[in-house]
Amino acid sequence: MSQQTTKRVILTGAIAAITIVGAYTGATIKTDNEKQTTRKKFEEATPEQMIEQLERAKSQLLYQRGELEKKIRQLHERQKARNTSGSES
């Protein structure tokens, strides 16, 4: 490899590294700001608003739980069907 090609590769790698680090840092800062904003809203909320937010979170979690239980049930049914068809052979 020539010296110019080596410099070009190093420069390209350095630029890529700077871009990746910058993107990661920006995403981290954005996430931290969102967490602080959410925490601040929650702390400033009235008790009624807190209850409403918690109820919303609860319903979302219950929905996710139902979906996960459904997937587990389907997985067990597929495994049972596979075991049943495997033992008939």
- Are 68 and 76 within 8 A, CB to CB? no
Write down the pLDDT at residue 40.
Answer: 87
pLDDT tens for residues 32-68?
A: 999 999 888 878 888 898 899 899 999 999 999 999 9
What are the structure tokens assigned to 51, written together? 């209850």
Would the pLDDT of 31 be above 90? Answer: yes
pLDDT tier at 85 (50, 70, 90 boundaries)?
Answer: confident
Write down the pLDDT at residue 77.
Answer: 95
pTM over 0.85: no
Rounded Cα gap, residues 6 and 11, in angstroms? 9
